[in-house]
């Protein structure tokens, strides 16, 4: 019985008196995700970011914005911006002319969410899969409220759901449903399978979002390689790409001198971090993955948002966007 609390947290057992009641730190359902809509209104993914936002600064790329569409070429009128004068046409006709542009009405957004078994881990507050799902829902609601089209890709170890960006509530609900369905499949007693490669997911992203999209990719970035780097580089050249790195405090600062039991639901092993070699290898593995993703930020100019399972999803999203704390 000594490991009952761990089995409860892993979703194998349920606490006494709570049979049939899902723990929102372990799994999220559709009503839970829908309830986040009201709390998403102060988060912004528009090009103009607060000064404290991680999307606005020398350590992260700036969002491009919606862009401009050419509308007409007409004669200059008093009050027109002289920067809009087309000097070639003006010289040819002998009369000042200006080029008129209108801002694109919307920019499609694709939210890509990792719900593989590597995300089914948490030591403080939430599972990584829950933090990713909640933050993806917050982003979807806010982008939808801004009037932009929103869709997504939700992928697990064997399943991949594609929802093409749309401006309707139906598209938003389809994305949230796919997210809750994928999250519900995560259980400690699930049979082990080969996880879906990140590269396959990125190829689907490139097909749905060839250019001029805002792409949010929420993952722990397990199993990445040089091909991943190449695919990320291609996406970032044609889109606004934001990598949302989800991590857990236990992995970020793995304690030494403890024994950790890990299992793939069939085999079980005990890892003794008191062994300096074992502890160093585990730490290097976790920090190496983080270093790779941060290196993409430096090399490719993509934005990286760090999320942790040890903090409330809404609070840290607001802080990352440079917004003040929640008002009472």
Per-residue model confidence (pLDDT) at position 250: 74
- pLDDT tens-place values along the chain, 328 residues long: 344 444 444 444 444 444 455 789 999 999 999 999 998 887 766 555 555 554 544 334 445 655 566 767 889 888 788 888 999 999 999 999 998 776 555 679 999 999 999 999 888 899 999 999 999 999 999 999 888 899 999 999 999 999 999 999 999 999 999 999 999 999 888 888 899 999 999 999 999 999 889 999 999 998 899 999 999 999 999 999 999 999 988 765 555 555 555 444 444 445 555 556 544 555 555 666 677 888 888 888 888 888 999 999 999 988 877 666 554 4
Strands 150-155 and 160-166, sheet pairing: antiparallel
- What is the pLDDT at residue 80? 81
For residue 163, list its beta bridge partners: 152
CA distance readout (Å), 280 to 248, 287, 322: 17, 10, 35
In the prediction, which pLDDT does 294 show? 82
- As assigned by CATH, the class of the 4-63+105-320 domain is alpha beta
**298 to each of 233, 239, 291, 292, how far by Cα in Å?**
12, 17, 11, 10
Domain locations in the chain as residue ranges: 4-63+105-320, 68-103
- Beta strand 109-114 with 150-155: parallel, antiparallel or unpaired? parallel
Tokens 């060839």 sit on residue? 210
Local structure of 301: helix, strand or coil: coil
- Residue ranges of alpha helices (H) inside the chain are 4-9, 30-34, 87-93, 128-145, 169-184, 198-208, 226-238, 249-252, 276-300, 313-320
Cα end-to-end span (Å), the chain: 42
8 Å CB contact between 55 and 321: yes
- Residue 276 has a pLDDT of 60
Q: Tokens 């003006």 belong to which residue? A: 90
């Amino acid at each position: 019985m000594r490991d009952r609390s761990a089995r409860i947290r892993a979703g194998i057992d349920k606490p006494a008196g709570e049979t049939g009641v899902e723990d929102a730190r372990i799994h999220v359902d559709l009503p839970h995700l829908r309830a986040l809509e009201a709390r998403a209104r102060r988060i912004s993914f528009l090009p103009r970011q607060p000064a404290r936002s991680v999307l606005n600064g020398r350590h992260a790329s700036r969002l491009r914005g919606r862009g401009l569409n050419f509308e007409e070429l007409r004669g200059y009128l008093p009050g027109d911006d002289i920067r809009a004068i087309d000097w070639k046409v003006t010289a040819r006709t002998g009369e000042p002319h200006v080029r008129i542009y209108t801002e694109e009405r919307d920019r499609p957004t694709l939210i890509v969410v990792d719900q593989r078994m590597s995300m089914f881990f948490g030591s403080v507050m939430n599972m990584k899969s829950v933090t990713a799902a909640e933050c993806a829902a917050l982003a979807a609601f806010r982008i939808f409220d801004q009037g932009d089209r929103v869709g997504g890709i939700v992928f697990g170890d064997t399943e991949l759901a594609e929802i093409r960006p749309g401006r309707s509530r139906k598209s938003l609900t389809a994305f949230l449903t796919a997210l809750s369905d994928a999250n519900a499949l995560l259980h400690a007693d699930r049979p082990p399978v080969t996880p879906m490669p990140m590269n396959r997911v990125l190829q689907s992203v490139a097909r749905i979002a060839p250019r001029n999209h805002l792409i949010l990719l929420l993952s722990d970035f397990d199993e990445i390689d040089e091909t991943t780097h190449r695919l990320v580089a291609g996406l970032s050249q044609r889109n606004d790409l934001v990598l949302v790195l989800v991590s857990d405090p236990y992995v970020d600062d793995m304690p030494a001198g403890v024994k950790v039991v890990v299992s793939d639901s069939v085999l079980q092993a005990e890892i003794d971090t008191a062994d300096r070699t074992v502890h160093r290898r585990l730490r290097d593995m976790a920090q190496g993955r983080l270093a790779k993703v941060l290196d993409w930020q430096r090399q490719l100019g993509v934005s990286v948002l760090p999320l942790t399972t040890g903090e409330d999803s809404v609070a840290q999203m607001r802080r990352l966007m440079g917004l003040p704390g929640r008002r009472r």
